[in-house]
């Protein structure tokens, strides 16, 4: 599969460029390769978090939970875990 590429201009603070270049050199990659991988990882992580929150919202709805119920439930769960030790 052939992938068309597009060149973009992105501004970075100089200290971040220095860090990015050091990592790229250490991994024998170009800046472009490093940035593509960083974006892929970010997008994948965001997709996973979005799915996790959607799962949580769905189950909270099924259980009839409201946002104000969450903190007390977490506190209760932590108390139970502490007493089980």
Sequential pLDDT tens for the chain (85 residues): 568 999 999 999 999 999 999 999 999 999 999 999 999 999 999 999 999 999 998 998 998 888 898 889 889 999 999 888 7
Structure confidence at residue 3 (pLDDT): 80
- pLDDT score for 83: 83
Contacts of 20 (CB under 8 A, 6+ apart): 12, 31, 34, 35
Domain layout of the chain by residue ranges: 14-84
Indicate whether this model's pTM tops 0.75: no
Instruction: Give the pLDDT confidence score for residue 20 in this predicted structure.
Output: 97
């Amino acid at each position: 599969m052939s992938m068309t590429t597009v060149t973009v201009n992105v501004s970075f603070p100089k200290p971040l460029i220095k860090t990015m270049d050091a990592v790229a050199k250490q991994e024998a990659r170009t800046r472009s390769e490093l940035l593509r991988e960083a974006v892929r990882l970010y997008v994948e992580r965001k997709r996973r978090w979005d799915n996790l929150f959607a799962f949580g919202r769905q189950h909270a709805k099924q259980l009839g939970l409201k946002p104000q119920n969450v903190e007390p439930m977490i506190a209760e769960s932590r108390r139970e875990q502490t007493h089980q030790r």
